[in-house]
Amino acid sequence: MFGLNAKDMRSLVFVALLLVLAPILLNPFPEGSPLAQFNAGYPDLMQRFAIFGIFAIGFNILFGLTGYLSFGHAAFLGAGSYAGVWMLKLLTINVIPAIIISTLVAGVFALLIGLVSLRRSGIYFSILTLAFAQMAFALAASVLTPITGGETGLQTSLNDPRILDGARESSNIPTPSLFGLEMGDSWQLRVGDWLWTFNAGYYICAIVALIGFYIAIRIFRSPFGLMLKAIKTNQNRLNYTGVSTRPYMLACFVISGMYAGLAGGLMVSMDPLAGAERMQWTASGEVVLMVILGGAGTLIGPVLGAGFIKYCENIFSKINKSVLEGWFSVFPDGMADFMVAIVYPFVGKGWHLTLGVLFMLVVIFLPGGLVQGGQKIGSWVTGRGRKKSAGAATTTPAE
Amino acid sequence: MGILEVQNVNKRFGGLQALSNVNLNVEEGSVHAIIGPNGAGKSTLLNCFVGRLTPDTGSAIFDGQSLLGIKPHEINQLGVSRVFQTPEIFTDLTVLENVMIPAFAHRDGAYKLNPFAHVAREAEIRDLAEHTLEDMGLQDKMEMTASSMSRGDKRRLEMAMCLVQEPKLLLLDEPTAGMARADTNRTIDLLKHIGETRNITKVVIEHDMHVVFSLAEKISVLAQGTVIAEDVPEKIKGHPKVREAYLGEAQV
């Protein structure tokens, strides 16, 4: 179906189920229970899961297939964000033009940066993209303040012209919507002690993420994708095989940049505010971490990596000292203080430390990322099953 | 008129005159060997035909078109394929994919940007790749990752990658270097077999005299950057200059 083989279809269905059921899956603990702080099923975070999933899928098309490590992908995210806010300000509060235009603007941006950066490969390519992204950040933060709002950022306001729907008189700044369906609209379902929130904005992000994932599968399975993998393996051979690698790399870079722009467009559609810090190198580094943590070059890895990092960022960082004291109150006094002192640096503001340790563990023990971890567990489980049946097979003839 | 005509090629690296006034005339459909002692300029000469190096002066005309100053992929698209001294393959991909890539490049040209086409639905390309692999005796290894193959198989794979493109001219840089005698003989048979079924002109750089004299129809002897003799194998064996420069040291 959809031109996919059975295995890819399973991945697509798996991701679709994850996205549809996320509000339930991410809220495994009943409301009000002490573990409820690990629930991640609130709209803001779920939107971020889907948006950063898109960002990571796009980054993986570049890095996973061709091995070209861009350190400036946040520039495309930022460009998309600004373009999206401008659409919301000038054209209409409907999110669709914002999402489309932000994707296109990021694509043009990627074309220009790609034309220059792709003249080099390896570390020089990384440095060139980093330089461009930092330039974009500096421009957005200061020089281009009239367009970008400088350090305060760009946001929608009451007296925006909004050519298509500006006539509507209201004392509130309108929130982005899809033909009247506001992104903040939510529908809550209470089952026993559990409270599930189904948010309109989240489901729009999820649908876009699913389409993005589908397109990524198709790219991976196309001759175009095969050429990109060949570029990663042996670019020299590919040249002597009659293939001009430049057009392939440029197309790949632009597609990847458009995914980032799409993510930026969705981000401002959910919350119409774009700031320059979105373009900073730390943001570019984060997507690299997501893809490597999840498993570069795999289809599902970037989605998992993005979810994992965003979960840690939002959940671990909420655990503060008093929460820890609550947890360890079962221990005797001195022991409890000791445990709190040990764990505290890894949570709350120190959540980066946890992430760093996890990242190191993954890179050392699972170079293929979380996906490889899943495969190892899978083969361990089925391998045990197979060993048992093999043992049964060898003993049967002896009887 | 030869299919590849090289005239007065000069190449200088700093103080070293690597090639001086090299002339070469390769007949269409023939096997032309280039031999010479180490450092004679054989590989330099080959690199001049494939776009890796540009000679300082001279010309190289293939099938009516100049090979100088154009890029490697453009030269390949004209119908020139190259087998490297150490196998250059796509090590992370499967053997079948390795052969499908050149087949795509042959059919679609230097690039075709269609992210929504299907590799799985390209039955024509797949069949072509599978047949070529069968010809090379690699039909049992098609799903293997190329990096896990033996060195001999990697060479055969690289040859399959070149042959699937049905080149007019095949350049082979020491196709048997580092091979055991049995493997060498197999490769000789393979190259002869290719000659019988397909009309491919071959230029072979080789050290192994056994290979050269069992394959070549014409031999150019290169020494210190100049061609000192170009003739049929029988005459090369007895050529006094060649004996002096090269064969005098080797057992023929």
Say whether A224 and B90 touch across the interface (CB within 8 A): no
Note whether A234 contacts B101, CB cutoff 8 Å: no
Bridge partners for B229 per DSSP: B221
Q: Which residues in chain A come in under a pLDDT of 50?
A: 388-399
Is the ipTM value over 0.85, yes or no? yes
d(CA A202, CA A271): 12
Domain parsing of chain A, residue ranges: 6-279
User: How far from B87 is each of A198, A335, B84, B165, B176, CA to CA, in Å?
Assistant: 57, 63, 6, 17, 11
In contact, A205 and A270? CB cutoff 8 Å: yes
Partners of A273 in beta bridges: A155
Interchain CB distance below 8 Å, B92 and A233: yes
8 Å CB contact of B117 and A224: yes
3-state helix, strand, coil in chain B (%, to 5): 40, 25, 35
B97: closest chain A residue by CA: A226
Q: What pLDDT tens digit does each residue of chain B (252 aa) get?
A: 688 999 999 999 988 888 989 999 998 888 999 988 888 888 888 888 888 888 899 999 998 889 888 899 999 999 999 998 888 999 999 999 999 999 999 999 889 998 888 888 899 999 999 999 998 889 999 999 999 998 888 988 999 999 999 999 999 988 887 778 888 888 888 888 876 777 889 999 988 888 888 888 999 988 888 888 888 888 887 777 777 776 555 444
Q: pLDDT digit string (tens) for A302-332?
A: 999 999 999 888 888 888 777 787 778 888 8
**Tokens representing residue A287 in the block:** 């997507």
- In this structure, whether the domain defined by A6-279 belongs to CATH 1.10.3470 is answered with yes
User: What is the 3 state secondary structure string of chain A?
Assistant: CCCCCHHHHHHHHHHHHHHHHHHHHCCCCCCCCHHHHHCCCCHHHHHHHHHHHHHHHHHHHHHHHHCCCCCCCHHHHHHHHHHHHHHHHHCCCEHHHHHHHHHHHHHHHHHHHHHHHCCCCHHHHHHHHHHHHHHHHHHHHHHCHHHHCCCCCEECCCCCCCCCCCCCCCCCCCCCEECCEECCCEEEEEECCEEEEEEHHHHHHHHHHHHHHHHHHHHHCCHHHHHHHHHHHHHHHHHHCCCCHHHHHHHHHHHHHHHHHHHHHHHHHHCCEECHHHHCHHHHHHHHHHHHHHCCCCCCHHHHHHHHHHHHHHHHHHCCHHHHHHHHHHCCHHHHHHHHHHHHHHCHHHHHHHHHHHHHHHHHHCCCHHHHHHHHHHHHHHHHHHHHHHHHHHHHHHC
Minimum distance, in Å, between the CA of residue A319 and any CA atom of chain B: 43
Q: What is the pLDDT of residue A322?
A: 79
A224 and chain B: CB distance < 8 Å anywhere?
Answer: yes
CB of A352 within 8 Å of a chain B CB? The answer is no
Phi, psi angle pair for B9, to nearest 5°? -80, 130
**B interface mutation test: which of A218, A240, A245, A250 has the most B CBs within 10 A?**
A240
Please report, for residues A19, A40, A44, B244, the alpha-carbon distance to residue A195 in angstroms, rounded to integers and kept in the order given.
18, 12, 16, 93
Interface with chain A: mutation pick from B111, B118, B132, highest number of A CBs within 10 Å: B111
